[in-house]
Structure 1
Amino acid sequence: MDIYCDLEVDVNGEETFIVDKKIISPYSGRISKLFGKLTGPRKSLKVIFHDFPGGAESFELLARFCYSNGKIEINPLNLSLLHCIAHFMEMNKSVSGTLNLFEQTEKSLEAIRYWTWSELLVALKQCQDLFPVANSSGILQKCLDSLVGRLALASEASPCPSNSSPDSSGFRFSCDTRSTESLKNSSIRATWWFEDVVGLNPNLVEMVIKLMVSRKFDHVTISRFLFYYQKSRFITATLDEKRKITETVIDMLHSLDRDAVSCKSLFGILRVTLNSNISKCCRNKLESMIGAQLDQATLDNLLVPSPIGMNYLYDVNLVLRFLKSFLGRGICRLPAIQLKKVTSLMDLYIAEVAPDPCLKPSKFLALVRALPDSARDSYDEIYRAMDMYLEVHAGLSEEEKMNICCGLNYEKLSSETCNHLAHNAKFPSKSAAQAIISQQYKLKNLLQDTNQPTPFTDSPCSFVEINSKGKKNEACEQIVLYAGKLDLSSENEKLKAHLQGMQWRVLELEKVCKKMQTQMTKIMKSRLSNHSNAKSLPRLCS
């Protein structure tokens, strides 16, 4: 056959091919549209492709197809490439009664369910190199459907849902727990595909995960894969690749059930993001997920270094955002056990950051007040943290100190803590007086509960603490001690006079307590004589 090469094709700047336009045009609608209307004597023509799928190697396959009268061997190893070529070059025209390239590749795709797992992975990885042509041509979606379908069949082989925690070393897809060997095998069955799929780029991983979620895959398994993917790909990734991987993982984790995502692993991702410029949207999603599981965090998790440019030690604003997310569901909807765990964690965190000399009073107070008052049964730990803070920040004014003390609930301080506060020179005198008044009011309330008259006037605080056995702390002498030993400045003469009056009332109260004790002793003896098996009554006052 007489071949006249009149078409010069530059493929992505990689290589230039000289071909016969008459041979290529009948198979390619794209070439036909470019040069089909040319008339007159032949002259040299040239076309430049900047985004030809697969580059020079792919164009060589196209040329072989055209020069072989539309015949070429199609197999799983080159199907993705040929399908993308057919789509890009619009090779949907039949010549001499033979199927065009697009039809041939479509027919070959019908056998995808018979491909081996390795062949499917090869085709899928080719698709990611040919993106976005592979996506628009439809072959990528077919490969993804086949991949996820096979994973679904594998999971159906061991139908029991995973009942292990996200932090455990493996997944339990088998109900057989009779031996450690069965657990090991079930873990392997659940994660066997991790290493194969980890080679896909973030775009394809996102598509795979979305398909798995739509097909009701176990969310614990999905989250474990995403953490594995992020860790594995980071080894050789560039900074820009790390940012893309991290954003994809965060987006996909955010689409899963909250309980399926490991809080520990989320903090691992958080520390990675400190040095990567991920989008604000992704960062908000990550913080929201952590905040929702804050009860599972530890103190070490929260001790995140402050951002670059900030002089304080730890990122207090980050923890405040965690708390905001945790409380976002509403305090009434939070399980009591979760709220108590977070409260204990926050008390530890506040004590840890209190010695930071750069921590502003407003931030310290924001931490103290971040949780509602009902979350704490005792403010003793908060008082100790304040004690450390005021010791480090000795230069604060009285007004600033009082603002910090506004975070205390004196009613929830133990008598021992109140005693310490009353003699603590680091605290303002008004705070010390408030602690004494709180103790006074507690004692008043106790006496009112016993229907006994009391010389006290109303006060905004309370004092007497009832221990777990129902016994009252012996606070009468303590109040006198507070009033007598409290060192007040000359500027607070009115407060001093008030405390002296209080001391007189406490002395009167002591008399009432002794009288009550005598009465209760008589009642107890009377009941014991009538009921030999009666229990002894508690002492109300000593």
Structure 2
Amino acid sequence: MVSFSDNTSLSCPNNPSQAPKFANTFTTRIFSDVAGDITITVDGESFLLHKFPLVSRSGKIRKMVADGKDYNVSKLELVNFPGGQHTFELAMKFCYGMNFEITAANAAPLRCAAEYLEMSEDYREENLIARTEVYLNDVVVQSLEKCVEVLCTCENLPPIVEELGIINTCVEAIAMNACKEQLVSGLSALDCNGESTELKTGCMEWWIEDLSVLRIDYYHKVITSMARIGVRPDSIVESLMHYAQISLKSIGKCQIWNPARPNSNSGTTESEQKTIVEALVNLLPTLKSSNVPLSFLFGMLRMAIMVEATVACRLELERRIAFRLEMVSLDDLLIPSLRARDSLFDIDTVHRIVVNFLQQIEDEENEDSGGYESDGLASLGHGSLLKVGRLIDSYLAEIAPDPYLSLQKFIAMIETLPDYARVIDDGLYRAIDIYLKAHPMLSDHECKKLCKFIDCQKLSQEATNHAAQNERLPVQMAIKVLYFEQLRLKNALCGSSGDGFLSQKISSGVPSAAMSPRDNYASLRRENRELKLEISRMRVRLSELEKEQVVMKRGMMEKSGNGKTFFTSLSKGIGRIGIFSGPGGGKRRKPRGSEGKSGRSRRYSVS
């Protein structure tokens, strides 16, 4: 196609006092004796033209002239012309036989204009419809960059552009070209051992950058087509992350912590952001096909909460996060709450994530109940649960100082995890202690209700010593802690630490003969899990006893010169413990309001 170099415009001012002119050297030479005989108005702009070259190529203009009251009709108006005045001017130049270049920037508008003007082969060979089709099918589809440029021009065109198939053609061409690049990079990686990583990364980056300029509906079509053709899920995820970073960067950080902010963005902008978030979540690959970075999932979840995305969108993100909850960090779970007069953090969202995690574990166990599984798989699932237990205990300790955190929400978060998710309750005890310190106005009944979740038998020696001197705990709780500590020391002296409890667990786990094989297997699985948990506890107890034994031996060696024997020292140690647990002996506990005024020492403070 010859490049167009004539800069003379066909348009004229829309002013009744000044007649429209068509001053072009090429036309003046051909029609030197013929003045313009028809004025066509497009978007308020008038064009003085000649009927003959127009009706010979445009079926629409021919029909409009023929349908007039007489053949001497001199004024026409084209409503909703695709591409506007500039595209109409190019179409008219084509009718007059003037040379200009069809490019990716004007191909789609010219194709729509040709369809609007009915410039088909029925009126003239190699008409504008045929010429634009040849360019789109032979030139544009061969280049991913040109396809993206054509799609960008389609954003401002009427729905006829989709009816003509231009959008689908470009979308499929982009997906196919990206797939070809993927194959080329894969083959190049086989040939270039040392440079394969750089080559592969470079091949992915250039088209990912190009796609970020597309409107979200076109981008959705492109990514869907890529997934169907077979583009790598990791490449799709990388493209989604880049598109989100570019298109959602306008959401300010102040929106997170200031829900009552003035609405600086227009409703259209917020609606577009909501559409983008929901579309990107819908485009995420399946859980098993690709590992989406957790940082991106949590970022999208925060965005979904800010723009008030649909419930289905947020639940999908929560489900994906729950699938790998054992890999989540504490900072990821600290999602700010946007609701006024509520806790500082979005606890309801974290609660749903944990519930989803437990539901997935239960579903996996039900699927495996038909056959026996290896110990490795079983221990792997239990290990993930223990990691989540430690994570949630840390989360509880982090949100406990929040003065707006209600007791109901705090307890609901504690009750989410089962008992076997914690080997020891030190983390839970620390979180509850921090909550009691931050909420001194709790009643005795509320304190008892909260402390009942602490299993005194699962506290370490350090936590037990702290709990025995903690004035924030209810009196019954402190007595219970001292009782189990004394019982543990007694069992340690008798050399039967944990034997009675363990034997009781084993005897209670014998399956009944009346149970079905499925229930029998489920019971054995539960018993196996409890035994593993008990073994973990016994290991902790054993390490503590070994430390105590070292301290006792050191004391015996120091006091051997004074004639004190091992049994004398040990009996005095037991006597000191008995003071706290006696029915009427010992010091009286001070009320919770007198905290900080007592002279009692507080060792091992965890709050």
| Band of TM-score, shorter chain | 0.7 to 0.9
In terms of mean alpha carbon deviation, does 224-233 or 85-94 score higher?
85-94
Q: Which runs of structure 2 are paired with 1:332-347 in the superposition (5 Å)?
A: 333=364, 335-347=381-393
The aligned residue for residue 401 of structure 1 is: 447
Q: Which runs of structure 2 are paired with 1:284-433 in the superposition (5 Å)?
A: 284-331=315-362, 333=364, 335-414=381-460, 416-433=462-479
2:157 corresponds to 1:130: yes
Aligned residues: 463
2:547 corresponds to 1:467: no
1:31/1:291 CA distance change after superposition, 3 Å: farther
Q: Percent identity?
A: 28
Task: Report if aligned partners of 1:254, 1:286 keep a CA contact under 8 Å in 2.
Answer: no
In terms of mean alpha carbon deviation, does 52-61 or 468-477 score higher?
468-477
2:37 corresponds to 1:37: no
- Superposition deviation, residue 426 in structure 1: 1.5
1:62/1:450 CA distance change after superposition, 3 Å: closer
Task: Report if aligned partners of 1:423, 1:486 keep a CA contact under 8 Å in 2.
Answer: no
Residue from 204, 217, 220 that aligns with 1:190: 204
- Superposition deviation, residue 382 in structure 1: 0.2
Residue from 124, 148, 151 that aligns with 2:178: 151
Task: Report if aligned partners of 2:107, 2:132 keep a CA contact under 8 Å in 1.
Answer: yes
SS at match of 1:307: coil
Task: Report if aligned partners of 1:219, 1:257 keep a CA contact under 8 Å in 2.
Answer: no
- Superposition deviation, residue 123 in structure 1: 2.8
2:213 corresponds to 1:213: no
- Superposition deviation, residue 82 in structure 1: 1.9
Task: Report if aligned partners of 2:148, 2:214 keep a CA contact under 8 Å in 1.
Answer: no
- Superposition deviation, residue 62 in structure 1: 2.0
CA distance in 1, matches of 2:167, 2:458: 63
- Superposition deviation, residue 56 in structure 1: 0.8
- Superposition deviation, residue 57 in structure 1: 0.7
- Superposition deviation, residue 263 in structure 1: 0.6
2:41 corresponds to 1:9: yes
The aligned residue for residue 107 of structure 1 is: 134
- Superposition deviation, residue 155 in structure 1: 0.9
1:310/1:374 CA distance change after superposition, 3 Å: same
CA distance in 1, matches of 2:137, 2:326: 51
The aligned residue for residue 299 of structure 2 is: 268
> Which amino acid in structure 2 is aligned with residue 467 of structure 1?
R
> Which amino acid in structure 2 is aligned with residue 81 of structure 1?
P
- Superposition deviation, residue 122 in structure 1: 3.1
> Which amino acid in structure 2 is aligned with residue 10 of structure 1?
V
2:112 corresponds to 1:80: no
Task: Report if aligned partners of 1:305, 1:314 keep a CA contact under 8 Å in 2.
Answer: yes
1:256/1:176 CA distance change after superposition, 3 Å: farther
1:332/1:106 CA distance change after superposition, 3 Å: closer
SS at match of 1:17: strand
1:369/1:131 CA distance change after superposition, 3 Å: farther
The aligned residue for residue 241 of structure 2 is: 227
- Superposition deviation, residue 343 in structure 1: 1.9
Task: Report if aligned partners of 2:65, 2:73 keep a CA contact under 8 Å in 1.
Answer: no
Q: Which runs of structure 2 are paired with 1:34-73 in the superposition (5 Å)?
A: 36-40=66-70, 42-50=72-80, 52-68=81-97
In terms of mean alpha carbon deviation, does 376-385 or 127-136 score higher?
127-136
The aligned residue for residue 165 of structure 1 is: none
Q: Which runs of structure 2 are paired with 1:90-101 in the superposition (5 Å)?
A: 90-92=118-120, 94-96=122-124, 98-101=125-128
- Superposition deviation, residue 22 in structure 1: 6.3
SS at match of 2:46: strand
The aligned residue for residue 581 of structure 2 is: 483
CA RMSD after TM alignment: 4.0
CA distance in 1, matches of 2:198, 2:91: 49
CA distance in 1, matches of 2:289, 2:485: 44
CA distance in 2, matches of 1:391, 1:235: 40
1:211/1:268 CA distance change after superposition, 3 Å: same
Deviations 1:372-427 (A, max 9, x none): 22221121110111111112212111221122123333443335534543443322
1:7/1:450 CA distance change after superposition, 3 Å: closer
In terms of mean alpha carbon deviation, does 283-292 or 214-223 score higher?
283-292
**Structure 2 length as normaliser, TM-score?**
0.66
**Structure 1 length as normaliser, TM-score?**
0.73
> Gaps (5+ residues) in structure 1?
161-172, 453-462, 491-542
1:370/1:16 CA distance change after superposition, 3 Å: farther
1:16/1:327 CA distance change after superposition, 3 Å: farther
Relative contact order: is structure 1 or structure 2 higher (C-alpha 8 Å, sep ≥ 6)? 2
- Superposition deviation, residue 76 in structure 1: 4.5
CA distance in 2, matches of 1:120, 1:135: 14
> Gaps (5+ residues) in structure 2?
1-30, 252-264, 366-380, 505-533, 549-569, 591-607
SS at match of 1:367: helix
Task: Report if aligned partners of 1:223, 1:261 keep a CA contact under 8 Å in 2.
Answer: yes
CA distance in 1, matches of 2:319, 2:69: 66
